[in-house]
Structure formats: C-alpha cells, structure tokens
Amino acid sequence: MQVIVPFAADAPKTRLSSTFSAAERRQFAGAMVRDVVDAVAKTGHDPHVLATGPVSVDVPVTVDERSLDAAVNELLESHFDAAGDDEPIAVVMADLALATAPSLDRLFETNGDVVFAPGRGGGTNAFVTRHPDFRVDYHGTSYLDHRAIASSVGASVGVVDSFRLATDVDEPADLVEVLCHGDGRTREFLVEAGFELVTADEGRVTVTRTDRVG
C-alpha cells in the first residue's frame, strides 16, 4: 500500500518558534519525517513523501507547492483513478515522531472504508482510505470534519485509539513526549541540542534546554 507522508519542508513547525531557530526547526522537522518514513517502511508498506519543496530522503518524493488539501486530494484522486477501488491508500503526517511499525499496522489493519488515527486537539494524524470518494479538509477540528466527509460519501468509519499516533509534535509541551517515549532521530536531535526533562513538585513535566559547553 502507498503511504503518503505530507511534509512542510520550507518553514516547518512555526508553533515551535519560541523553542527553536528557523534552521533548527528545519532540522527537527527533517528528523521527524525520517523517523516517520522509517516506521512506515518497517510495516512493509511504501512511504511516499509529499513535500512543499525538495527533501532528502531515501523514498519517492513528490514536490507540490499548493495547499495541503489540494496536494493530498490530487494524490487520492489519481490513486483511485489508476488503481481502482480495491487498493487502499494511507496518509500519515510527518510530525508523528512516536509512530512505530506496530502502531501503524494497527491503523492499516483496522476495518472500515476510512480509518482514522485522531490527533490530540481535534486534528487527523493519519488515516487509511479504501473509499474512492473520500477527500480531506485539514486544519481546525479536521477529525470531526473528516468523519462528516466520510459519512457524506457513504463510507464506513473506523477509529484507532493510539497514544503514539495521537501525539503530533506541534508545541513545546509535546517535546516531553518525545524525550519520554521516542527512540529515533527526533529524540536524538533534542538530546544533542541539550533538551532535558524538568520535574517540579506541582504541575506537569516540562523541558528545558541546558547550555552545553564544548
């Protein structure tokens, strides 16, 4: 199965601007997309990066500068035009730094015309569609919007409840999850950059960046 991995290559992860410089955000996003591509490849399926600009990965890349929705919907349409209704296709976001092959396999193997892995906060972190008419409308509460779109085309819906797939790395608080649960390039980037967990007597665990000498 083809697994599309959308990737904002030019100015990624703006919600992490208070934490990283623009160059670091590109490196961090690059580490995440490589971790996601590796996890998809370990499932035995075929990752295909859909990027807004050139990206150096060992899998096919399509560069499409249009909006996320326009780029993904064109691939969905051309996939079902070429492959017919029997061949599913998946979309897995490039910022799922905790994604693993077993968590993705659960998504890919769940029954339903369209199967979603919701993200925390209302987004759609990943889905597989077996229905030729399902199209995306990302941003905002896209999980609810996508359920409504699936319903409007007569598609049955499945949902995967997965901590790993629900954790998209958007904001500084999400870095805690990467340090706690990650084991790939993304976590390595944070450790190399001097990020550590901070526990306090009250409140949630946070991260801090230590000054590294030499």
Ligand X SMILES: Nc1nc2c(ncn2[C@@H]2O[C@H](COP(=O)(O)OP(=O)(O)OP(=O)(O)O)[C@@H](O)[C@H]2O)c(=O)[nH]1
Ligand Y SMILES: C[C@H](OP(=O)(O)O)C(=O)O
Exactly one of 67, 78, 151, 152 binds ligand X (CB under 6 A); that residue is 67
> Could you give phi then psi for residue 193, rounded to 5 degrees?
-80, -5
179-188: Cβ within 8 A, 24+ apart: 179/207, 180/205, 181/98, 182/35, 182/97, 182/98, 184/31, 184/34, 184/35, 184/38, 184/97, 185/31, 185/32, 185/34, 185/35, 186/28, 186/31, 186/32, 186/35, 186/97, 187/97, 188/31
Determine the interface stretch with ligand Y among 56-64, 137-145, 175-183, 185-193 (rule: CB under 6 A): 137-145
Rule CB under 6 A: choose which of 123, 132, 158, 184 binds ligand Y: 123
Contact between 13 and ligand X by CB under 6 A: the answer reads yes
Residues in the chain: 214
Residue with tokens 């919701």, as numbered in its chain? 118
Q: Which stretch binds ligand X (CB under 6 A): 66-74, 149-157, 185-193, 199-207?
A: 66-74
CB-nearer residue toward ligand X: 46 or 138? 138
Cβ contacts of residue 7 below 8 Å, gap of 6+?
A: 29, 33, 49, 50, 51, 52, 55, 94
Q: Does 142 sit near ligand Y (CB under 6 A)? A: yes
In angstroms, give the least distance from the CB of 176 to ligand Y: 17
Q: Is there a contact between 113 and 130 (Cβ–Cβ < 8 Å)? A: yes
149-168 positions binding ligand Y, by CB under 6 A? 168
The one-letter code for the residue type at 40 is V
91 binds ligand X (CB under 6 A): no
Which position among 3, 57, 61, 93 is part of the footprint of ligand X (CB under 6 A)?
93
Instruction: Return the number of the residue (37 or 166) whose C-beta is nearest ligand Y.
Output: 166
What is d(CA 155, CA 86) in angstroms, rounded to the nearest whole number?
14
Looking only at residues 169 through 188 of this chain, which bind ligand X when binding is defined by CB under 6 A?
170
CB of residue 125 to ligand Y, shortest distance in Å = 6
Residues in contact with ligand X by CB under 6 A are 6-8, 12-15, 29, 50-52, 67-68, 71, 93-95, 168, 170
Residues in contact with ligand Y by CB under 6 A are 119, 121, 123-124, 138-139, 142, 168, 170
